[in-house]
Amino acid sequence: LGKMYYLADKYQLDILKESVTQEVSSRKMVTEKVIEAAQVAELNVHLEKFSSAVFHKCTSFVRDNPESVLQIFDNEEAGEERSYTLHRLMARTNRTEPKQPPPPVCDNCKHEPCLHGEVLTENNFVVGALIWHISDLSFPGLRRTIRKIDGHFVYSYNQHVQETHPKLVKYKFLCK
Protein backbone atom coordinates (compact mmCIF):
# COMPACT_ATOMS: atom_id res chain seq x y z
CA LEU A 1 0.00 0.00 0.00
CA GLY A 2 2.92 2.33 0.71
CA LYS A 3 4.29 1.86 -2.80
CA MET A 4 0.86 2.37 -4.32
CA TYR A 5 0.39 5.58 -2.34
CA TYR A 6 3.85 6.76 -3.44
CA LEU A 7 2.96 6.24 -7.10
CA ALA A 8 -0.42 7.92 -6.65
CA ASP A 9 1.36 10.88 -5.05
CA LYS A 10 4.00 10.99 -7.78
CA TYR A 11 1.42 11.01 -10.58
CA GLN A 12 -1.02 13.24 -8.66
CA LEU A 13 -3.82 10.69 -8.50
CA ASP A 14 -5.72 12.13 -5.56
CA ILE A 15 -8.58 9.64 -5.78
CA LEU A 16 -6.16 6.73 -5.55
CA LYS A 17 -4.33 8.36 -2.63
CA GLU A 18 -7.64 8.75 -0.81
CA SER A 19 -8.56 5.13 -1.59
CA VAL A 20 -5.26 3.86 -0.18
CA THR A 21 -5.68 5.97 2.95
CA GLN A 22 -9.22 4.65 3.42
CA GLU A 23 -7.97 1.10 2.92
CA VAL A 24 -5.36 1.61 5.64
CA SER A 25 -8.03 2.98 7.99
CA SER A 26 -10.38 0.08 7.30
CA ARG A 27 -7.86 -2.68 8.00
CA LYS A 28 -7.82 -4.50 11.31
CA MET A 29 -4.52 -4.31 13.15
CA VAL A 30 -3.21 -7.51 14.73
CA THR A 31 -0.51 -7.96 17.34
CA GLU A 32 1.89 -9.68 14.95
CA LYS A 33 1.85 -6.77 12.47
CA VAL A 34 1.87 -3.64 14.64
CA ILE A 35 5.68 -3.20 14.66
CA GLU A 36 5.92 -3.89 10.93
CA ALA A 37 3.16 -1.34 10.28
CA ALA A 38 4.94 1.25 12.46
CA GLN A 39 8.14 0.63 10.47
CA VAL A 40 6.22 1.18 7.21
CA ALA A 41 4.88 4.45 8.61
CA GLU A 42 8.39 5.55 9.63
CA LEU A 43 9.84 4.65 6.22
CA ASN A 44 7.09 6.61 4.45
CA VAL A 45 7.01 9.65 6.71
CA HIS A 46 7.49 11.83 3.60
CA LEU A 47 4.02 10.68 2.48
CA GLU A 48 2.26 12.55 5.27
CA LYS A 49 -1.35 11.38 4.89
CA PHE A 50 -0.37 7.76 4.33
CA SER A 51 2.10 7.76 7.21
CA SER A 52 -0.40 9.48 9.52
CA ALA A 53 -3.08 6.93 8.67
CA VAL A 54 -0.74 4.02 9.44
CA PHE A 55 0.53 5.64 12.65
CA HIS A 56 -3.06 6.33 13.72
CA LYS A 57 -3.92 2.67 13.18
CA CYS A 58 -0.88 1.61 15.23
CA THR A 59 -1.37 4.06 18.11
CA SER A 60 -5.07 3.17 18.35
CA PHE A 61 -4.12 -0.50 18.55
CA VAL A 62 -1.55 0.20 21.29
CA ARG A 63 -4.01 2.29 23.29
CA ASP A 64 -6.87 -0.23 22.94
CA ASN A 65 -4.84 -3.44 23.45
CA PRO A 66 -2.39 -3.02 26.35
CA GLU A 67 -2.14 -6.78 26.95
CA SER A 68 -1.10 -7.35 23.35
CA VAL A 69 1.55 -4.64 23.65
CA LEU A 70 2.96 -6.33 26.74
CA GLN A 71 3.10 -9.56 24.76
CA ILE A 72 5.06 -7.75 22.01
CA PHE A 73 7.52 -6.39 24.59
CA ASP A 74 7.94 -9.89 25.99
CA ASN A 75 8.74 -11.30 22.53
CA GLU A 76 11.16 -8.57 21.39
CA GLU A 77 14.85 -8.47 22.23
CA ALA A 78 15.97 -5.16 23.76
CA GLY A 79 18.30 -3.16 21.55
CA GLU A 80 17.08 -4.62 18.26
CA GLU A 81 15.65 -2.41 15.48
CA ARG A 82 12.13 -3.67 16.15
CA SER A 83 12.42 -2.76 19.85
CA TYR A 84 13.50 0.78 18.88
CA THR A 85 10.44 1.00 16.62
CA LEU A 86 8.26 -0.26 19.46
CA HIS A 87 9.76 2.34 21.80
CA ARG A 88 9.09 5.16 19.31
CA LEU A 89 5.54 3.85 18.78
CA MET A 90 4.89 3.87 22.52
CA ALA A 91 6.22 7.46 22.76
CA ARG A 92 4.00 8.51 19.83
CA THR A 93 0.99 6.83 21.47
CA ASN A 94 1.71 8.72 24.68
CA ARG A 95 1.78 12.05 22.75
CA THR A 96 -1.42 11.26 20.85
CA GLU A 97 -4.70 12.38 22.33
CA PRO A 98 -7.06 9.47 22.87
CA LYS A 99 -10.09 9.55 20.60
CA GLN A 100 -12.96 10.99 22.56
CA PRO A 101 -16.18 9.01 22.44
CA PRO A 102 -18.98 10.85 20.72
CA PRO A 103 -21.28 12.69 23.10
CA PRO A 104 -24.29 10.64 24.12
CA VAL A 105 -27.45 11.08 22.09
CA CYS A 106 -30.65 11.51 24.06
CA ASP A 107 -32.72 8.31 24.10
CA ASN A 108 -35.96 10.26 23.76
CA CYS A 109 -35.39 13.05 21.21
CA LYS A 110 -32.43 11.32 19.47
CA HIS A 111 -30.48 14.61 19.43
CA GLU A 112 -27.26 15.89 20.91
CA PRO A 113 -27.58 18.19 22.70
CA CYS A 114 -30.87 17.03 24.14
CA LEU A 115 -34.01 18.94 23.11
CA HIS A 116 -35.74 18.69 26.49
CA GLY A 117 -38.29 21.52 26.73
CA GLU A 118 -37.81 22.53 23.08
CA VAL A 119 -40.78 22.90 20.76
CA LEU A 120 -41.48 19.93 18.47
CA THR A 121 -41.01 20.98 14.84
CA GLU A 122 -41.04 19.33 11.46
CA ASN A 123 -37.21 19.44 11.45
CA ASN A 124 -36.63 17.83 14.85
CA PHE A 125 -39.49 15.26 14.76
CA VAL A 126 -38.53 11.68 15.66
CA VAL A 127 -40.70 8.62 16.03
CA GLY A 128 -41.27 7.41 19.59
CA ALA A 129 -40.43 10.65 21.41
CA LEU A 130 -42.23 11.54 24.61
CA ILE A 131 -43.89 14.97 24.24
CA TRP A 132 -46.28 17.09 26.25
CA HIS A 133 -48.91 19.64 25.30
CA ILE A 134 -48.07 23.12 26.55
CA SER A 135 -51.55 24.49 27.24
CA ASP A 136 -54.21 21.88 26.60
CA LEU A 137 -55.89 21.51 29.98
CA SER A 138 -58.64 19.33 28.55
CA PHE A 139 -56.06 16.64 27.63
CA PRO A 140 -53.25 16.99 30.16
CA GLY A 141 -50.61 14.33 30.04
CA LEU A 142 -47.86 12.90 27.97
CA ARG A 143 -47.99 11.79 24.37
CA ARG A 144 -45.71 9.62 22.25
CA THR A 145 -44.97 10.54 18.62
CA ILE A 146 -45.88 7.91 16.02
CA ARG A 147 -45.35 9.41 12.54
CA LYS A 148 -45.45 12.54 10.42
CA ILE A 149 -47.97 12.91 7.57
CA ASP A 150 -48.18 16.04 5.38
CA GLY A 151 -47.15 18.47 8.10
CA HIS A 152 -49.34 16.77 10.71
CA PHE A 153 -47.96 14.72 13.56
CA VAL A 154 -49.59 11.54 14.71
CA TYR A 155 -49.15 10.67 18.36
CA SER A 156 -50.62 8.35 20.95
CA TYR A 157 -52.37 9.58 24.06
CA ASN A 158 -53.82 7.17 26.63
CA GLN A 159 -53.55 4.36 24.08
CA HIS A 160 -55.55 6.37 21.50
CA VAL A 161 -54.07 7.62 18.24
CA GLN A 162 -54.56 11.32 17.58
CA GLU A 163 -53.34 13.79 14.97
CA THR A 164 -52.08 17.34 15.46
CA HIS A 165 -52.82 20.39 13.42
CA PRO A 166 -49.98 21.77 11.25
CA LYS A 167 -49.27 24.45 13.85
CA LEU A 168 -47.01 22.59 16.26
CA VAL A 169 -45.99 25.19 18.79
CA LYS A 170 -48.17 23.41 21.36
CA TYR A 171 -45.87 20.42 21.88
CA LYS A 172 -42.50 20.17 23.60
CA PHE A 173 -40.06 17.33 24.17
CA LEU A 174 -40.01 15.75 27.62
CA CYS A 175 -36.66 14.01 27.88
CA LYS A 176 -35.31 14.26 31.40
Classify residue 84 by burial, with Cβ atoms within 10 Å: 0-12, 13-18, 19+.
middle
Ramachandran region, residue 141 (left: φ > 0; alpha: ψ -120 to 50; beta: rest): left
167 vs 43: which has the higher pLDDT: 43
Tell whether the model's pLDDT for residue 173 goes beyond 70.
yes
Backbone angles phi and psi of 175, in degrees to 5:
-105, -35
100 pLDDT tier (thresholds 50, 70, 90) = confident
Average pLDDT over residues 62-81: 93
Are the beta carbons of 164 and 171 closer than 8 angstroms? yes
Cα separation, 92 vs 101, in Å, equals: 20
Are the beta carbons of 161 and 149 closer than 8 angstroms? no
- Cβ contacts of 137 within 8 Å, gap of 6 or more: none
pLDDT on residue 139: 59
Cα separation, 17 vs 15, in Å, equals: 5
pLDDT, tens digit, 9 for 90 and up, residues 15-24? 999 999 999 9
